[in-house]
A and B are shown apart, each in its own frame.
Chain A
């Protein structure tokens, strides 16, 4: 079970073992383990709210307390190490009462608005209250009266629902190195938020949404845009078009009970048509297009002394991170728009022209695994047709909600195909959804463009996997091209720092904001409560789903996509051409406040 993985290196943990008794059972566990981890080895999952195995220990919520013989007080099992001869009890009546009291205290100043809360039914606090049989409220505590921070286009923060577990603060600092959030003030007024209590919009927040994945309650959620989309769908004057990102199709099944990694592509197409979308396109088409542009941009930079290394630009969290934290690298960013924005631009220009449609009447929606895409779509420069390239962005979670609202049952939906011509895609585009995929897809095309030879082995295994930083060297016609892949911005920050100091040298680097890439995006369904966010096995399952779709595709290289060939022949003319420059490329800007990322002592591997 992935949640059992203890922190740190397993190797060192095997060196020394200690013997102890948990609930009368004699166990022998590595000395480095905490009581919570020790208990998990015999199948006891202690309740928890502030603990996450990949984040530092906080000991903030106390619901994991256990009894240790000889100790005066109950101890928090998440941050108490096991010791030789310990006698631990995890479920005495006193303990259960203590945990119950703690949960009741948390509820005392929690808003009683479960029915209208976004996390209703998937809230960790609510679940614990339910499991502990809390059926009435004995006390009315003083409530907090903060205003929810609605300033961000991507994330809503409601401090009144915050239980101060600090997981968002830790994920923002330790995994993403962004440090947008911190505890501030004291006592009852303690709050989690950006520096100077600034609204998120004016902070260094990069909208990745990892905080919304780890938040146990409804304090941090994605901005819900479903109503906006429902309205457009019911507007007779609007032609509503939708695109769906690679990583969504392997996770959209999860909220409906399908295992992670199940390919739901064609059922999702059907569901979208049933919801009322007039055209259903595939972001994978524009991912193929991104590869055409980006591979040629790389070749051009290699041949004409352009700025190197070139960084991928598909991940909008990373783009904003670069603008706040590493503005000296802005010229290294590929100028290619992300696939979402390329598709948006094409829908309102190429497709509108082809179909004789007025771009003003088109309402363009994208379904993304990502909260940062909401911010990206609203960037003022993303208006290739003079109208916003993308009008609304829904996360995977929001789409699941819409499908549930409409009462659609995946199991009863007959799989359907995407609409032509923006629905045709290759395997290279599918793997955009997993860390390493964009780089691999670019290499599949760049290799043939440079060498003029057929690529023997399509799979670049060396850039796959979940190591935090992976590197490889590719031979392109005698030229050794050094490439690297990283995911999670703490890793990216290390990589950039080491590139700057000359410790690392590359030509091409893929950077994804979220651990695991888009499959671990901040807009993805939250795993069930027994599985942690960022759990390796769980993300591996999603990745396997993506690679399986790639393998099944007949065409697995972007430049071989017949519709891509066609769009260049009849519209774009050539990669990096004038039309491309206008529609498919963009620019970046330094942003304030200037961010200060912190260097993690190690590389974070999933």
Chain B
């Protein structure tokens, strides 16, 4: 029940956002802004939201789907609460970034691009966070960790596990099927 009402509230918020922004923008920028808002609001872009936006902005779903799948910022699946970016740029790589990555995989029991079973952690690789002098570097959401050694990984992860779940924890809106892929 709680889940349903929360979904309803989010769609109401989305509707309000569109109504308020509509007079200020042309359809294309309104669509972009609305998708950003939706991503923030739900933690991902549910199919129902695409259909809602399509009806509201009079843009066909196929075109919205095209935009959502084009930009890396948007996600069709709920995103983890904490996205871990491990740098594998040259400096980080030579100072042991790869070993940090391996340790994270062990600790979280996931591969690159996957999300941990509890929905808390996602793992991805990035190229250069702009502080090569402090290599190896990794970033968890907005927090940057420097001179990381594999042994530090469990402690860092534990601090995030302890943190209370923020209110922005994504709420799954139905099941999102992703057919049509062979791989």
CA distance A193 to B181 in the complex (A): 11
Whether A16 sits at the interface, judged by CB under 8 Å, is: no
Q: Say which residue of A146, A184, A598 sits within 8 Å of B70 (CB atoms).
A: A184
Contact (A182, B182) CB under 8 Å given A195-B50, A596-B54, A596-B55: no
B residues 45-82 in Cβ contact with A at 8 Å: 47, 50-51, 54-55, 58-66, 69-70
**Is the pair B63, A179 in contact by a Cβ cutoff of 8 Å?**
yes
B residues 133-152 in Cβ contact with A at 8 Å: none
**Is the pair B58, A596 in contact by a Cβ cutoff of 8 Å?**
yes
**Is the pair A145, B182 in contact by a Cβ cutoff of 8 Å?**
yes
Nearest A residue to B65 by beta-carbon distance? A195
Whether A69 sits at the interface, judged by CB under 8 Å, is: no
Contact (A197, B181) CB under 8 Å given A185-B70, A596-B54: yes
Contact (A199, B60) CB under 8 Å given A182-B65, A184-B66, A184-B70: no
Q: Say which residue of A146, A180, A186, A199 sits within 8 Å of B62 (CB atoms).
A: A180
Identify the interface centre among B50, B59, B60: most chain A CB within 10 Å of its CB: B60
| A residues less than 8 Å from B175 (CB atoms) | none
Contact (A198, B180) CB under 8 Å given A184-B69, A593-B61: yes
| B residues less than 8 Å from A199 (CB atoms) | 179-180
**Is the pair A197, B178 in contact by a Cβ cutoff of 8 Å?**
yes
Nearest A residue to B177 by beta-carbon distance? A196
Interface size on A, residues (CB 8 A): 27
**Is the pair A183, B178 in contact by a Cβ cutoff of 8 Å?**
no
CA distance A179 to B61 in the complex (A): 8
Nearest A residue to B181 by beta-carbon distance? A197
Q: Min CB distance, B115 to chain A, in Å?
A: 20
| A residues less than 8 Å from B118 (CB atoms) | none
Q: Min CB distance, B63 to chain A, in Å?
A: 5
A residues 124-146 in Cβ contact with B at 8 Å: 145-146
Whether A216 sits at the interface, judged by CB under 8 Å, is: no
Whether B26 sits at the interface, judged by CB under 8 Å, is: no
**Is the pair B70, A186 in contact by a Cβ cutoff of 8 Å?**
yes
Whether A71 sits at the interface, judged by CB under 8 Å, is: no
Q: Min CB distance, B179 to chain A, in Å?
A: 6
CA distance A147 to B183 in the complex (A): 9
Q: Min CB distance, A450 to chain B, in Å?
A: 41
**Is the pair A197, B179 in contact by a Cβ cutoff of 8 Å?**
yes
CA distance A266 to B70 in the complex (A): 53
**Is the pair A147, B180 in contact by a Cβ cutoff of 8 Å?**
yes
Contact (A194, B62) CB under 8 Å given A147-B182, A596-B55: yes
| B residues less than 8 Å from A198 (CB atoms) | 179-180
Shortest beta-carbon contacts, A-B, top 10: A197-B180, A179-B60, A182-B62, A195-B61, A195-B62, A182-B66, A147-B182, A195-B65, A184-B69, A185-B69
Q: Can you show 10 pairs from A to B with CB atoms below 8 A apart?
A: A180-B62, A182-B62, A183-B70, A194-B62, A197-B178, A593-B51, A595-B60, A596-B58, A596-B60, A598-B60
User: Interface of A with B (CB < 8 Å)?
Assistant: 145-147, 149, 173, 179-186, 193-199, 203, 593-598
Sample of 8 more A-B contacts, CB < 8 Å, known A147-B182, A195-B61, A197-B181:
A182-B60, A182-B63, A184-B66, A194-B62, A195-B62, A197-B65, A596-B54, A598-B60
